[in-house]
């Protein structure tokens, strides 16, 4: 089975994660896909395959060399982002892409155009898997799942190819920040691993944001507007006041590279009560702490103005910059870089403006850089993935395994 065939099979299972759910996995279809993957791994002849009660898949391909080599792992996540549904996914393969606009949905006039997405032009002559304009494609991260499974099939069907012990892991709920919640690093048993959860071909990332999620509740007081003087407290206006106290230029739409941000991701409200959800991100740990401090001091100032208890804040650190844990073992990044160069791929080493399972796993004792899975425009209806990029990702996995076994 080719990597494309596997990918199309996996995206047919809708596995959108749900932040409101209290179960693990957060949606039942993640276990449906997990069971499918476990059965496929067993059919390859892999004996050590498990799916635990939380939907985590682990498998081992034993070493076939008679010397000590590091045990390495490859990890991808099974869920897709809640931003858009994956129910009714109708992928289409555009063969030998010619550089023109691609009509995704004629009825809705939804077009994937190089005018809006110039990266399309990097793939002229290649085969692109696109959406129907109404759903996610699911390349984030089922492209990574398909690539790892295809590489696993290669090693199990070619027993003469030398390799050390290879660990395979598939996680649920990465998109809602819970992918590492129940990951058993000791059971996994790898010295280090790679997530295949990056974007365009060549991406190789070992630094991520430090991340904090902030839930804010603002309490107001509603009175009939005709008699509201000196009585009404409008929680929505306090919310707008709070947002204006944060640096306006430090929003996602104005930042890039190592620049952090304050992002108001969701807000709902009435005069009586408003709820806000911010994400705070920064690669630099000291700047990250300053961001949290600024938000706290802004809230304190407004509570002083409007009365203690007007604003409640719940702040939670989600993950930290994995570079802190990977830099001491930077050889694992160099190995991946060398493999890419040998395959004619230009490595793109840059910080992740986000986080992966690897961000948390690195702090749990499993250093875990991130490799491209090949997709573009994640979390939206214009998502696409070049078939040739997925094929190259498989070759990168094989190359890393070979280099480790040398």
The H or E element containing residue 361 is helix 357-363
Tell me the CATH number at 170: 3.40.630.10
Give the model confidence (pLDDT) of 215-250 as tens digits. Answer: 999 999 999 999 999 999 999 999 999 999 999 999
**What local confidence, expressed as pLDDT, does residue 248 receive?**
96
What is the DSSP annotation of 259-276? --EEEEEEEEE-SSEEEE
Same domain, 198 and 218: no
Tell me the CATH number at 280: 3.30.70.360
CA angle 222, 228, 231 (to 5 degrees): 70
Same domain, 7 and 96: yes
Give the model confidence (pLDDT) of 322-361 as tens digits. Answer: 999 999 999 999 999 999 999 999 999 999 998 879 999 9
**What local confidence, expressed as pLDDT, does residue 299 receive?**
98
**What local confidence, expressed as pLDDT, does residue 224 receive?**
96
Same domain, 104 and 158: yes
Write out the two tokens for 205: 């990332």
**What local confidence, expressed as pLDDT, does residue 398 receive?**
98
**What local confidence, expressed as pLDDT, does residue 356 receive?**
79
Q: Any residues with CB less than 8 A from the CB of 160 and at least 6 apart, and which?
A: none
Whose tokens are 């099974």? That residue is 78
Same domain, 128 and 238: no
The H or E element containing residue 359 is helix 357-363
Q: Measured between alpha carbons, how far is 52 from 36 in angstroms, rounded to an integer?
A: 14
CA angle 140, 393, 124 (to 5 degrees): 85
Same domain, 220 and 346: no
Q: How far apart are the first and last CA of the chain?
A: 28
The residues of the chain scoring below 50 in pLDDT are none
Residue 133 Rama label (left phi>0; alpha psi -120 to 50; beta) = left
User: In DSSP terms, which residues pair with 94 in a beta bridge?
Assistant: 128
Contact 239, 269 (CB under 8 A): yes
Is the pTM of the predicted complex or chain greater than 0.85?
yes
Q: Shortest CA distance to 180 belongs to which of 195, 191, 165?
A: 195
The H or E element containing residue 51 is strand 48-51
Of 303, 318, 333, the last residue of a domain is 318
User: In DSSP terms, which residues pair with 76 in a beta bridge?
Assistant: 170
How many other C-beta atoms lie within 10 A of the C-beta of residue 132? 16
Domain count, the chain: 2
Whose tokens are 């206006």? That residue is 237
The 3-state secondary structure of 205-217, one letter per residue: ECCCCEEEEEEEE
Q: Any residues with CB less than 8 A from the CB of 146 and at least 6 apart, and which?
A: 3, 4, 6, 7, 10, 390
Active site residues: 79, 174
Q: Measured between alpha carbons, how far is 296 from 214 in angstroms, rounded to an integer?
A: 10
Same domain, 55 and 190: yes
Same domain, 364 and 225: no
Q: Shortest CA distance to 55 belongs to which of 33, 73, 40, 76?
A: 33
**What local confidence, expressed as pLDDT, does residue 354 receive?**
84
Q: Shortest CA distance to 369 belongs to which of 205, 214, 231?
A: 205
**What local confidence, expressed as pLDDT, does residue 171 receive?**
98
Of 290, 318, 346, the last residue of a domain is 318
SS3 300: helix
Same domain, 121 and 234: no
**What local confidence, expressed as pLDDT, does residue 42 receive?**
98
Write out the two tokens for 95: 């063969």
Same domain, 59 and 108: yes
Give the model confidence (pLDDT) of 61-85 as tens digits. Answer: 999 999 999 999 999 999 999 999 9
Give the largest CA-CA distance in the chain. Answer: 85
Q: Measured between alpha carbons, how far is 47 from 60 in angstroms, rounded to an integer?
A: 8
Question: Which ranges of 315-356 would DSSP assign to H, the alpha helix?
Answer: 323-326, 331-342
The answer to whether the bond into 25 is cis (omega within 30° of 0) is yes
Same domain, 95 and 198: yes
Rg, C-alpha atoms of the chain: 23
Of 270, 296, 318, the last residue of a domain is 318
Give the model confidence (pLDDT) of 377-387 as tens digits. Answer: 999 999 999 99
Sheet bearing 192-198, strands edge to edge = 48-51, 57-61, 166-171, 72-77, 192-198, 370-372, 203-205, 348-349
Q: Any residues with CB less than 8 A from the CB of 226 and at least 6 apart, and which?
A: none
**What local confidence, expressed as pLDDT, does residue 105 receive?**
96
Q: Shortest CA distance to 374 belongs to which of 200, 146, 227, 232?
A: 200
Same domain, 168 and 286: no
**What local confidence, expressed as pLDDT, does residue 47 receive?**
85
Same domain, 245 and 136: no
**Domain enclosing residue 143, as ranges:** 3-208+321-405
């Amino acid at each position: 089975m080719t990597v494309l065939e596997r990918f199309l099979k996996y995206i047919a299972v809708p596995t959108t994660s749900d932040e409101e759910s209290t179960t693990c996995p957060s949606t039942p279809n993640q276990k449906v896909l997990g069971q499918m993957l476990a059965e496929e791994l067993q059919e390859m002849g892999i004996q050590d395959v498990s799916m635990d009660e939380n939907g985590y898949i682990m498998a081992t391909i034993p070493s076939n060399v008679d010397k000590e080599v590091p045990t390495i792992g490859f990890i991808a996540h099974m869920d897709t982002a809640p931003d858009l549904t994956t129910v009714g996914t109708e992928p289409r393969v555009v063969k030998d892409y010619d550089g023109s606009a691609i009509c995704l949905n004629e009825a809705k006039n939804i077009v994937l155009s190089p005018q809006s997405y110039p990266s399309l032009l990097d793939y002229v002559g290649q085969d692109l898997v696109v959406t129907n304009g109404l759903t996610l494609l699911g390349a984030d991260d089922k492209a990574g799942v398909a690539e790892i499974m295809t590489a696993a099939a290669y090693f199990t069907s070619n027993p003469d190819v030398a390799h050390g012990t290879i660990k395979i892991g598939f996680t649920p709920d990465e998109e809602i920040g819970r992918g590492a919640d129940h990951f058993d690093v000791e059971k996994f048993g790898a010295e280090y691993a790679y997530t295949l959860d990056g974007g365009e071909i060549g991406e190789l990332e070992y630094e991520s944001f430090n991340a904090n999620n902030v839930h804010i509740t603002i309490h107001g007081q509603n009175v009939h507007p005709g008699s509201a003087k000196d009585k009404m407290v409008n929680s929505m206006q306090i919310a707008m006041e709070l947002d204006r106290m944060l640096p306006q230029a430090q929003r996602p739409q104005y930042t890039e590279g190592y620049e952090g941000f304050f992002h108001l991701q969701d807000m709902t409200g009435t005069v009586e009560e408003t709820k806000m959800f911010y994400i705070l991100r920064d690669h630099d740990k000291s700047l990250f702490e300053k961001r949290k401090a600024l938000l706290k001091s802004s809230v304190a100032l407004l509570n002083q103005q409007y009365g203690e208890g007007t604003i409640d804040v719940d702040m939670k650190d989600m993950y930290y910059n994995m570079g802190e844990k990977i830099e001491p073992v930077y050889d694992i990044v160099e190995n991946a870089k060398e493999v890419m160069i040998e395959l004619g791929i230009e490595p793109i080493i840059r910080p992740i403006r986000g986080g992966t399972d690897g961000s948390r796993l690195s702090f749990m004792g499993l250093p875990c850089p991130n490799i491209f899975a090949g997709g573009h425009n994640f979390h939206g209806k214009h998502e696409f993935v070049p078939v040739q990029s997925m094929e190259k990702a498989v070759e990168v996995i094989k190359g890393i395994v070979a280099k480790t076994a040398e």
